[in-house]
Chain A
Amino acid sequence: MNKIIESKFLAKDVKRFVIEAPKIAAKRKPGQFVIVRSNSKGERIPLTIADSDLEKGTITIIVQGIGKSTKEINSFNSGDFFHDVVGPLGQPSHLENFGTAVSIGGGVGAAIAYPTAVGLKQAGNHTISIVGARTKDLVILEEEMRANVDEVYITTDDGSYGFHGFVTQQLQKLIDDGRKIDFVLAIGPIPMMRAIAETTRPYNIKTVVSLNPIMVDGTGMCGGCRATVDNKTVFVCVDGPEFDAHKVDFDLLIKRNKTYTQSEKTAVEHFHQCHYDKVFDLAISENKS
């Protein structure tokens, strides 16, 4: 059981939790994740460790409520408990001084990219961060990014804030402006990561993406998280989650992530949606007050 110390909605359906996990806080490196279960009947849900506080013995996770389990998690508040938290899992991000490093986060991907962006800065890179969202209210971690990286660009699909367009267009703009980019990290929805891979491919810019297949154990025991990279099967939980974007078979990943689409609908119907909405509204009003 791990206690929630702090919880706060960052945007609609995106909530940040600071949870007690001293062992993980001491061990974790950028790019690693935990697997949590919200209750004793819960699914094992992988979530990136966005931050940690060694002294307080806490880790931070940022969760987007998209299905039954993540919505249930987002109905939790400080004082509540996660039934299980295991980690840190996966290989840490490869951090070195590449020169100029761009980290790109689409939607909740900004949360996953954040710790690595910080790590890239600490490794001596000139760091650029592109944070993309559908609309202004969904932009997350802008302040944190501004405090920790050298240049921050915000893009929104509807133009309500920052650059009007997609993260790929912002990246292309930087390239067209003649900026020398040595490394790109892209994290977000799979179509976005694929688009970034295609943007950087002609320029041969080293590009890394963090894959998010469906997982069970997270220790290489089940093979459910397998993906194809460089025409070879990998287990994302132990071999990744970060891989060379130019070698990932994104098509396969999209298809495999649809394995349980039907069951997910059943699960959500089973879950008391009304309960969740009430909690969300409450939390928003609390945050504002």
Chain B
Amino acid sequence: MQTPLSKKDRMKIPRQPMPEQDPDVRNKNFLEVNLGYTEELAVLEAQRCLQCPKPFCVDGCPVGVQIKDFISLVAEGKIAEAAAKIKEDNVLPAVCGRVCPQEEQCEIKCVVGNKNEPVAIGRLERFVADYEREKLGMRLPVCKPKTGKKVAIVGSGPAGLSCAADCIQAGHGVTVFEALHEIGGVLLYGIPEFRLPKDIVKVEVQALEELGVEFRTNAVIGFTDSIDELLTVEGYDAVFIAVGAGLPYFMNIPGENLNGVYSANEFLTRVNLMKAYDFPNHDTPVFDCKGKSVAIFGGGNTAMDAVRTSKRLGAKNAYIVYRRSEIEMPARAEEVHHAKQEGIEFQLLTNPIEFVGTEEGWLTGVKLLKMELGEPDASGRRKPIPIKDSEFILPIDMAVIAIGNGSNPIIQKTTPGLEFNKWGNIVVNSETMLTSREGVFAGGDIVTGGATVILAMGAGRKAAKAINEYLFNKE
């Protein structure tokens, strides 16, 4: 069905835009912003790929998705085959196609980008995964015969889920322990519905259940069972720790405990996991943003998610307050662009020094200081320096602190002999993800610090490979 196009013709096709909800409509609802390619758009976009003999794009993908091959299949209209091709390397394509920072991974390496805009690899990946899920139905992989060995996975984020997928296929019994009452980690409680619909995560989890993975929610490892008890009393042969980076940083400035000051984790958990946007149909409340002024402190994906969420909850003025300039923002370009479209105001090169509030303890504003950029610092980014006498007060009713997460100390405190670095991250062998304890592996944000979904997923798969080898050799 495909007419072979010349390279020149291919180069003439413009990058196909992502259909999306109108900014003025979507900033009042929690439905997904991006609507996804139609099959026509996807095939057209796939034809932009030059099928390079040396596909540099693949080098940019942390898990080496065979981009050239799957795109070629899309161009031929063979979507089911394309899906299978992607899944050889990426078990969560519907998620990664949505939230990967493609513009700085696979797409930045795409040669089409040297002259024109790069091939929209992420959008195609998303299209293929959605098409498979919605039109073809998820096909379950075949599991190897049972080995009789059991693997315990602690944490149900992308690292834990991908490790579970590979271990169950290798024939082991797999149990995933999750502290919260639902499965999915940050995919569920952190990243909002309008960027990653929760049904997508649920379908992935169901598929794992059908393969035989057992999910135990409400199990805080360290409290409910320790890692050692999993290995001894509970009889697991190996453990994979994938507990993420779950400790919110605060700024340690005066007034931070006023009512209305949230960590991003709390704000997003209330809205996403506890569904506070549907209060009082769901019981959990969150700050009533309607008609209020709110400020989110930080410049990453988390900050963008929080500010766009507050807008959807009805905030009149929703600010991003960031101490560097826009170029230094770690958030994905797409998220910043979407935020601006939705009416988010950016207070760049400003740094908070104090929260101010009423006698009764309610936040009324934040004292900000203007900054200018100096010499590059250790991270290579230009260091913000305060400008003298530039203080001013921004009146706000709610503040969300989104300056990053450290590692939650529960596992560290309850697992003797497990080696951690000074930031509280678990030390592992980078090839096998093996920790300092025999049979105990770790991966994802608890090893790297806050990173990305695709890296966590890659770590989960690496660990699964090593666990399978370890269990094969074990007695």
What is the interface of chain A, defined by CB distance below 8 A to chain B? 23-24, 27, 37, 41-44, 68-69, 83-89, 216-217, 219-224, 226-228, 233, 238, 252, 255-256, 258-260, 262-264, 266-267, 270
Asked whether any CB of chain A lies closer than 8 Å to the CB of B283, the reply is yes
Interface: B38 (CB within 8 A): no
Partner of A219, one of B179, B252, B279, B285: B179
- In the complex, are the beta carbons of A259 and B259 less than 8 A apart? yes
Can you name 29 A-B pairs with beta carbons within 8 Å?
A42-B283, A44-B181, A84-B181, A86-B179, A86-B181, A88-B223, A88-B224, A216-B274, A217-B269, A219-B220, A219-B246, A220-B246, A221-B179, A221-B248, A221-B269, A222-B248, A223-B250, A223-B263, A238-B409, A252-B257, A256-B257, A256-B259, A258-B361, A262-B288, A263-B285, A266-B280, A267-B280, A267-B283, A270-B281
Contacts of A217 in B (CB 8 A): 179-180, 269
Residues of B within 8 A of A68 (CB): 280, 283
Assess the B280–A23 pair: CB atoms within 8 A. no
Q: For the complex, is B436 an interface residue (Cβ under 8 Å from A)?
A: no
CB <8 Å contact, B263 and A263 = no
Considering the chains assembled together, what is the distance between the CA atoms of A221 and B409 in angstroms?
10
Residue B218, interface by CB 8 Å: yes
Contact A41 B282 (CB under 8 A): yes
CA distance A228 to B256 in the complex (A): 11
Give, as a whole number of angstroms, the nearest-CB distance from A69 to chain B: 6
The chain B residue with its CB closest to the CB of A228 is B257
Q: Is the CB of A267 within 8 A of B179?
A: no
Residues of chain A lying within 8 A (CB to CB) of residue B51 = none
Q: How far is the CB of B363 from chain A (nearest CB, A)?
A: 11
Contacts of A264 in B (CB 8 A): 285
Min CB–CB distance A275 → chain B (angstroms): 15
Q: Give bound CA distance, A221 to B274, whole Å.
A: 14
Which residue on B lies nearest to A267, using beta carbons?
B280
Please give me the residue from chain A that is nearest to B282 by CB atom. A41
Is B292 interfacial (CB 8 A cutoff)?
A: no
Q: Chain B residue with minimal CB distance to A89?
A: B223
10 more A-B residue pairs beyond the given contacts A219-B410, A224-B266, A233-B256, with a C-beta to C-beta distance below 8 A:
A27-B223, A88-B224, A89-B223, A220-B408, A222-B265, A223-B250, A223-B263, A228-B257, A252-B361, A263-B280
Q: How far is the CB of A93 from chain B (nearest CB, A)?
A: 15
Contact between A89 and B220 (Cβ–Cβ < 8 Å)?
yes
Q: Which residues of B contact A252 (CB under 8 A)?
A: 257, 361
CB distance from A269 to the nearest CB of B (A): 8
Q: With the chains together, A37 CA to B275 CA distance in Å? A: 14
Interchain CB contact under 8 A, A41 and B360: no
Minimum CB–CB distance for A172 against chain B, Å: 30
| Known contacts A221-B246, A226-B257; is-contact A44 B218 (Cβ 8 Å) | no
Kindly list chain B residues whose C-beta atoms are within 8 Å of the C-beta of A85.
218
Contact among B181, B265, B283 with A223 in the assembled complex (CB-CB below 8 Å): B265
A24, A83, A217, A267, most chain B CB atoms within 10 A: A217
Whether the Cβ atoms of B266 and A263 lie closer than 8 Å is no
